[in-house]
């Protein structure tokens, strides 16, 4: 993308053109965007302002042969297979619908329900999935989306947003994003065939939303032999003095091949 600076000011008619596209792949410095009809272009993006993920609908500025992603736009994610991905189908205080479930172990007392996001910190509507644990002690929790049909030969990836709010002294708070593979759509977590870790993050408390997504190139994970269903898994290992609230929102799973 050499020469981007100073070029974006004018196209053939002296103006940059705005398009809407879909992110198909990304690496450390550029994004591949589908601008319609399967036409793929390589684009730069505003570092520190946008964290790309496959499936994002983005605003793209074009000036000649130069493309710049200005950021993601609101609305549904192209090809997202997660039911109730932003929890707006539910109401405050009730369990999440759409097949969402949780597995808990540890001394801390768990709570798991859809809840209102703290005022001014909303990311995709005013509701999110709230996982709380009160201590002292530790808590290991696995949150999974509803089952998604898959087939051997396909490749899938996922991403999600998480926000940590503590009401005690900070401890160790590890969050992981995984794909969990099952033979049937009714299998419990203990009956999983395998799981693929996409990323892990030592979560800071009190900062803005963090996007969980695979690093590097985003070619997706191949469906393993025997798997007919997949769930997006959000896994946390918490150790804290008093308690912690984790908000999950905009959970996405898209097929890459």
Task: Answer yes or no: is pLDDT of 135 > 60.
Answer: yes
* pLDDT value of position 12: 54
Residues 6+ apart with CB under 8 A from 220: 54, 155, 156, 157, 255, 256, 257
- In CATH, what number is assigned to the domain containing residue 204? 2.60.120
User: Is residue 62 domain-shared with residue 157, that is, in the same domain?
Assistant: no
Q: Does residue 90 belong to any structural domain of this protein?
A: no
Domain that includes residue 147, residue range: 101-255
* pLDDT value of position 216: 66
- In CATH, what number is assigned to the domain containing residue 48? 2.40.50.140
User: What is the pLDDT confidence band of residue 170, given thresholds at 50, 70 and 90?
Assistant: low
Residue range 12-70, pLDDT digits in tens = 555 678 889 999 888 777 889 998 888 899 999 887 778 888 888 899 998 888 899 98
- Phi and psi based region of residue 226 (left: phi greater than 0; alpha: psi -120 to 50; beta: remaining): left
* Average pLDDT over every residue of 157-185: 83
Q: Does residue 82 belong to any structural domain of this protein?
A: no
State the total domains in the chain. Answer: 2
* pLDDT value of position 1: 31
Q: Does residue 95 belong to any structural domain of this protein?
A: no
CA distance 201 to 194: 21
Q: Does residue 48 belong to any structural domain of this protein?
A: yes
Residues 6+ apart with CB under 8 A from 235: 140, 141, 142, 143, 175, 176, 177, 178
Q: Please, what is the average pLDDT of the chain?
A: 84
Q: Does residue 7 belong to any structural domain of this protein?
A: no
The predicted model scores a pTM of 0.83
Q: Does residue 244 belong to any structural domain of this protein?
A: yes
CA distance 28 to 4: 17
CA distance 248 to 114: 9
Q: Does residue 85 belong to any structural domain of this protein?
A: no
Task: Answer yes or no: is pLDDT of 158 > 90.
Answer: yes
159/17: higher pLDDT: 159
* pLDDT value of position 218: 66
The alpha carbon of 199 is separated from its chain's Cα centroid by a whole number of angstroms, namely 11
Dihedral of the alpha carbons of 71, 77, 79, 85, in degrees to the nearest 10: 140
The SS3 of residue 58 is strand
């Amino acid at each position: 993308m050499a020469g981007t600076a100073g070029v974006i000011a004018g196209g053939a008619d002296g103006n940059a053109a705005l398009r809407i596209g879909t992110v198909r792949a990304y690496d450390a410095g550029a994004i591949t965007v589908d601008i319609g009809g399967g036409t793929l272009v390589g684009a730069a993006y505003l570092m520190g302002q946008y964290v790309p993920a496959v499936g994002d609908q983005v605003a793209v500025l074009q000036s000649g042969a130069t493309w710049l992603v200005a950021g993601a736009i609101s609305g549904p994610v192209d090809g997202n297979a997660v039911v109730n991905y932003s929890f707006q189908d539910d109401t405050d205080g009730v369990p999440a619908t759409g097949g969402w479930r949780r597995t808990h172990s540890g001394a801390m007392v768990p709570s798991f329900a859809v809840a209102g996001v703290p005022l001014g910190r909303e990311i995709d509507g005013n509701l999110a999935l709230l996982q709380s644990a009160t201590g002292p002690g530790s808590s290991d929790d696995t949150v999974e989306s509803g089952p998604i049909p898959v087939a051997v030969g396909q490749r899938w990836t996922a991403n999600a947003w998480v926000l940590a709010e503590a009401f005690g002294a900070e401890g160790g708070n590890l969050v992981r994003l995984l794909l969990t593979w099952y033979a049937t759509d009714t299998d419990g977590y203990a009956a999983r065939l395998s799981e693929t870790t996409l990323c892990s993050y030592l979560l800071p408390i009190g900062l803005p939303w963090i996007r969980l997504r695979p690093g590097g190139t985003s070619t997706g994970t191949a469906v393993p032999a025997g798997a007919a269903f997949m769930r997006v898994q959000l896994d946390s290992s918490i150790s804290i003095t008093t308690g912690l609230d984790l908000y999950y929102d905009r959970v996405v799973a898209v097929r890459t091949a």
